[in-house]
Chains A and B, each alone.
Chain A
Amino acid sequence: MSAIAPKFKLSEFIKSLLDNAFWAVLLASLIGLPIIQIVLFYIEMPVIDGELLTPFLALTWLADPTRSLPILKAFMATDMFRVMAFPGFGFAALIAAGTIFIERKMLAKLQLRVGPFYCGKIEGILQLAGDGLKLISKEIIIPAKADKPIFWAAPVIFVATAAAFVALIPVAPGWVVADIDLGLLGVFAVIGFFPIITILSAWSANSKFPFIGGIRALFQMVSFEIPLILSLLGVVILTGTLNLSEIAASQSSFPWIVFLPVGAIVFFITMLAELERIPFDLPEAESEIVAGWLTEFSGMMYGLVQLGTYLKLYAFAGLFVVLFLGGWNGPMVVPPFPEELLVGVELGPLTVGPFPGLPLFDQEMLNGTLWFVLKTVGVIFFILLPRGVFPRIRIDMLLSLGWTKLIGLAFVNIFIALGLLYAGVLGPGGLQ
């Protein structure tokens, strides 16, 4: 004991525990409870036993478990939950974190390494948390000649734009943050912001390597946006709508990749270029221009850009699933909700339940989410895979690929879609 804590006294140890408990209670009551109250004011409260819950009564769920489920359900019906947690930012950030971990482990297996191993005991599962803590604790260094307001703002705007992209992706029937009729047009508009943010951050750093990287990123994103947009027109022609939820719903019998494989391939390649993944990672080519437009970012600013990049990756993979792989459609594998939980289960002498407010999610939503996540993870796997196989290509090869071959293939895809429509295979009177 003496070696570890030479001046250990039991009374001081107990005192420190009590101190901690005091501060925890103080902070919870001064900050935590007001926050819960403020959140509850924005929620439309449910009616339980003929009595409308007010935010003040709502705290009774702490004492009455039967009231907690309706409140939880009411909270999940709000826009705030959708933006913050489920189809929005939290869900996407969770998938992004998983993507980073899977990428590192998968690449390591491919290259006969072990990858993250020690952090978190089990196969380095806490490596990402460690990296995040490291990035937060690092000093943020701003170049002396940088255009500081823009340079500070760029990572934040990048994450915000990526989150706006995430908001457009429908995960399950009815579960989308922004269900707008011009959803696909909204996607194009959001994608169009990324080159602007990139060139702003690169230029404001006032440094040579970020500048070259920013110019490269601008070239790459702008020249690949055109085949990106053209490759999606086939789906729009066949479905006749720009609403992403309707496009997903239209693939209940077969996904569009069956009829439009060319468009899917073109979209996948342009997606790799828009995401700056290998083999199209020239804006971050480290042997030529250090880290490209990310060179001058340090600490959590770099972390934010990485977070935004992986959010973007999830959103693109989700868009691919929604447009070509049938979105949430899939065989029903989730079992129906056990009805007896609603009336209560007799377990010998005890009677459990009934639970008012159940089920929290309906069967369709759970099944749709399951299929969407499975397909998205599959697409993400194929986005990550080229990193272990391909070297980086050069900017002139990239531009010629984008402007000639991919645009040509995208037009072929449009003609295929038009042919299917006019031959009557699809559309009114056809298969669908």
Chain B
Amino acid sequence: MTDIMPPGLALKKVDERIMTLNVGPQHPGSGHMRIVVQIDGDYIVACDPDPGYVHRGEEKMAEYRNYITNVPHLERPVIHDSCNVLYPYVLGAEEILGIEVPERAKYVRVICSELNRCIYTMYWLAIYGIFLGHSTMFMWPAGDRELLIDLMEKVSGARVTHAHFIPGGVRNDLPANFEDVCLRQVNYFEKRIKEYAAVFYDNPILISRTQDTGVLSRENAIRYGTTGSVLRASGVDYDLRVKAPYDVYDELDVHTNVMKEGDSYARSKVPWLDMMESCNIIRQALQKMPKSGSVRTKLKPNPKTKGPATVYKRVESGRGSLGCYIVSDGKTEPYRVKMSVPSFRNLLAMPNLLIGEKLGNMPSVYWSLNYWPVEADR
């Protein structure tokens, strides 16, 4: 019996009382992955997350394309967060190719990055709502998300897959009158997400259901290597925008939201607070941005490095710190592109959080980890 069991299951002896549930990949509560859960009555005694259903070989594909043509496909792992997921690659490519970025382009990148963080988080929040059976919290974020998607459509021309960041700046300049429209939409957006507190975050049933479930202590959060909102919800003040600023984040006033509890409720609330902080950052960036100027440095066709070079860059994405390691051997294509994704790091904490929990807590704990299956598989 033990031989045919999937690896990672802690239980050696399968008891009569234990029932094995295959949650996923065709399950409304799983996403593009499988969680093998063993339950004893209503309690989870073993949990084996099984990602890999949407592996697309993005890293291998990057070895056959040059530094510019890598842009559109490297954003595919998280299309809702496509600017952020591309950001570390673009930063790294600029460093090893030796490209200077205009000042205005850096601000445009910050604005696009923060807009995309909100777009991603709204999608995540919608799924968190429907996982808890709160259908209004599914529809509201999915609808309000359109405000920012329309903004990004004005900027880049595409609604989700923008491919807007390229080595050397951004693809296009902002459209005319963008500052006013952006300010108005972002202000309205902030007003809207504050209303979510009344229907969702202050809801007594939600609080009693998610508080003290799946508690991740500060020590464990650091030890398992979690990042992003999961880490900040466990009381660790760690945000790359503050700790290791890239582009112009050091000129902006970024406030980090930290909660001490480390439970499912805190993990669901930190991204919501982060969205309000994103609105603040966008307003600051719009104010400080140079009103005119170039947004892109002209590149030679097929740019390549002088010789062998490596670079590692990371940014704070919607899910946490997202790193990109580029190795070049002097050709026009990168020798190796390796992405260190936050989703996979956060997933590693899941079995430890779920064991001992009730089956009813599985969706809330699972999705509060800010995990995106496609990004984990790449």
Contacts and interface: CB of A to CB of B under 8 A. Distances in A.
A394 B21 CA distance: 19
A287 B135 contact: no
B199 A389 contact: yes
B28 A287 contact: yes
A415 B361 CA distance: 38
A397 B359 contact: no
A390 B209 contact: no
Interface residues of A, number: 29
Interface string A337-352: 0000000000000000
B283 to A, nearest CB: 25
Interface string B344-363: 00000000000000111111
A290 B28 contact: yes
A259 B1 CA distance: 64
Interface stretch (B4-12, B105-113, B125-133): B125-133
Interface of A: 107, 110-113, 208-209, 212, 278-279, 281-282, 285-290, 387-397
Interface residues of B, number: 32
B140 interface: yes
Contact of A388 (B19, B136, B143, B205): B136
B362 A288 contact: yes
Interface in B305-364: 358-363
Interface of B: 19, 21, 27-29, 42, 129-140, 143, 199-200, 203, 205-206, 208-209, 358-363
Contacts of B29: 286-288, 290
B143 A395 contact: no
A275 to B, nearest CB: 15
Given A212-B359, A394-B360, A112 B143 contact: yes
Contact of A390 (B19, B134, B360): B134
B361 A394 contact: yes
A112 B140 contact: yes
17 contacts: A110-B136, A111-B139, A112-B139, A112-B140, A112-B143, A286-B28, A286-B29, A287-B363, A290-B28, A389-B136, A389-B203, A391-B132, A392-B209, A395-B42, A396-B42, A396-B360, A397-B209
A286 B361 CA distance: 13
Contact of A395 (B134, B139, B206, B360): B360
B360 A282 contact: yes
- From A282, A388, A396, residue with most partner B Cβ within 10 Å: A388
B122 to A, nearest CB: 14
Contacts of A279: 133, 205
Contacts of B199: 389
A290 B21 CA distance: 11
B358 A391 contact: no
A146 to B, nearest CB: 18
B205 A288 contact: no
Contacts of A387: 135
Contacts of B21: 208-209
B362 to A, nearest CB: 6
A111 B28 contact: no
Contacts of B132: 287, 391-392
A107 B139 CA distance: 10
Given A388-B135, A391-B132, A392-B133, A288 B359 contact: yes
A287 B131 contact: yes
A110 B199 CA distance: 11
A390 B200 CA distance: 8
Nearest to B208: A397
Contacts of B140: 111-112
B168 to A, nearest CB: 41
Contacts of B131: 287
Nearest to A108: B139
A111 B209 contact: no
A390 B131 CA distance: 12
Nearest to B127: A287
A210 to B, nearest CB: 12
Contact of B203 (A391, A395, A396): A391
A107 B135 CA distance: 9
Contact of A391 (B27, B133, B143, B361): B133
Nearest to B37: A288
A331 to B, nearest CB: 37
B358 A394 contact: yes
B136 A287 contact: no
A395 B358 contact: yes
Given A286-B133, A287-B29, 4 more contacts: A111-B143, A391-B132, A392-B209, A395-B42
Nearest to A387: B135
Contact of A113 (B129, B139, B209): B139
A391 B206 contact: yes
Which of A113, A279, A282 has the most chain B CB atoms inside 10 A of its CB?
A279
